[in-house]
Copies of this chain bind each other. A is one copy, B any other.
Amino acid sequence: MKQNKVPKATLQRYPIYLKALRKLHHMGVERIMSRELGNFVDIESTTIRRDFSFIGSLGKQGYGYDVASLIEVFNGQLGVNFDEKLILVGAGNLGRALMNYNRWNHVVGEIVCAFDTDNDKIGTLSEVPVYHLRDLKQYLPKDCRIAILTVSGNAQETVDLLIEAGIVGIVNFTHEHIQAPKGVIIRTVDVVSTIQELIFQVNNF
C-alpha cells in the first residue's frame, strides 16, 4: 500500500470494483479502461482512477488495466485472502440462513465454526460445528479476526466477549446498537434501517 490514508469513501468502493472485475474476468474480458469500468458500475472514471492510485500505478497509459492482475492486486495487496476465517455468533433463524447461503465461500473466506448460548443449537449445522459461546476461547481459530453477529439478545455483552477474545471486525445483523472501542470496526447490516432510508429518500426524492 502506497500510503496509509485511503479515504473512507474509497474503501467503500473497493468491494464494488472487485465484484465487477471478477464478473468481467469471468466473462473473458482481459483488459479494461477506467471509462468502461465506470459505465459498468456507475462511477465516474476519474473517481475510479483516483481510487486505484491509492494502491499504486496499476494501469498502463494508453492501454488501460489488466483485469487479472488488478484482481490479483486487490486480493493480495488489500488482504482479501480467500481463506479469511469467519465465525458466526448466533445460530438462530438468520444465522442458519446465512450459513446455507454460503455464497462467500472462496470469495472472502469461510465460516469455520459457529457459537450460540442455546444448548439445543450445539452440534453441527450445514457441516459447520456449533459450540457453546462459553467455549469461545477454546474453539476460536487462532487467526480469526472477523465475526458475523446474529444473536437475538445480549448483543453488547456478546460483542464485549468477542473483542476480548481478539475479534477486530464485526458484521452486525442485530437490531441493537452496539458500541466498541477504537480499533474494532463494526458494520451494521439492518434490513429495517435500509428500508427506512429508502422510504425517506423516496419521500424526499
Task: Tell whether A6 is near chain B: CB-to-CB under 8 Å.
Answer: yes
Q: Mark A72-113, 1 if CB is under 8 A from B, else 0.
A: 000000111000101000000110111011011001110000
Looking across the interface, which residue of chain B has its beta carbon closest to that of A152?
B103
21 example contacts (A-B, Cβ-Cβ < 8 A) are as follows A11-B200, A11-B201, A14-B196, A15-B194, A15-B196, A15-B200, A19-B192, A20-B177, A78-B203, A79-B202, A79-B203, A86-B195, A93-B100, A94-B101, A103-B192, A148-B191, A148-B195, A169-B201, A169-B202, A183-B205, A189-B189
A145-202 contacts to B (CB < 8 Å): 145-146, 148, 168-171, 175-177, 179, 183, 185, 187, 189-202
Number of copies: 2
CB pair B41 A177 closer than 8 Å: yes
Task: Tell whether A134 is near chain B: CB-to-CB under 8 Å.
Answer: no
Please judge, given known A-B contacts A185-B201, A200-B14, whether A107 and B192 are in contact too, CB under 8 Å: yes
Band of interface residues on A:
35 or more
CB pair A42 B179 closer than 8 Å: yes
